């Protein structure tokens, strides 16, 4: 079980590095990609509840480390999203890649909207911010559509490799 957590954390860390580097390069054009749902969706749908919640909490702390929102915001949002998705995962086919992508898109929309509201509560000129935030949301959703299937496949392969390694030990 510890190996599964370590491998899952490494895949979450890889995603964090990719998103952070992409945002670094996009900052020259004042654009931002938010992929918070990718941290949450697979762990909520395919991992046990306790382990998945732990991985979402770690991913939330990782995202909080370089974010402009108050520390703990991503932690709270990711764990809440994990709890809601894992509560409903028995009603949806969790291993279907299309379902995973749709859940990720819906979760990303909700998480991004909540973060946008948190960030703009004290902004004096809301009218100037919303067009940019809508464009960033569209860019984020496009990123999830393009990268999400690869990332879910990566995490599935990691779990398969871990199960194979555990079987071959006995």
Whether 18 maps to a domain, the answer reads: yes
Whether 35 maps to a domain, the answer reads: yes
For tokens 């860390």, the residue is 13
pLDDT-based confidence at 162, cuts 50/70/90? low
| pLDDT surpasses 70 at 168 | no
| pLDDT surpasses 50 at 59 | yes
Runs of H (alpha helix) within 47-125 = 49-64, 73-88, 97-120
Whether 170 maps to a domain, the answer reads: no
Per-residue pLDDT tens digits for 132-160:
889 999 999 999 999 999 999 999 888 88
Lowest-pLDDT choice from 20-24, 36-40, 61-65, 163-167: 163-167
Whether 111 maps to a domain, the answer reads: yes
Domain containing residue 81 = 2-165
Q: How many domains does the chain have?
A: 1
Whether 125 maps to a domain, the answer reads: yes
User: Mean pLDDT highest for which of 44-53, 120-129, 145-154?
Assistant: 145-154
């Amino acid at each position: 079980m510890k190996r599964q957590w370590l491998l899952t954390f490494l895949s979450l860390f890889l995603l964090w590095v990719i998103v952070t580097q992409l945002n670094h390069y996009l900052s020259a054009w004042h654009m931002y990609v938010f992929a918070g749902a990718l941290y949450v969706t697979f762990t909520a749908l395919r991992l046990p509840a306790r382990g998945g919640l732990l991985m979402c909490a770690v991913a939330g702390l990782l995202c909080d480390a370089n974010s402009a929102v108050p520390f703990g915001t991503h932690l709270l949002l990711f764990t809440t999203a994990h709890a809601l998705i894992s509560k409903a995962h028995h009603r949806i086919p969790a291993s279907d890649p299309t379902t995973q992508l749709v859940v990720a898109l819906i979760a990303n929309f909700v998480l991004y909207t909540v973060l946008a509201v948190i960030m703009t509560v004290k902004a004096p000129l809301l009218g100037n911010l919303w067009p940019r935030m809508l464009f960033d949301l569209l860019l984020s959703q496009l990123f999830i559509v393009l990268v999400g299937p690869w990332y879910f496949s990566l995490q599935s392969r990691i779990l398969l490799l871990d199960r194979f390694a555990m079987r071959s030990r006995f």
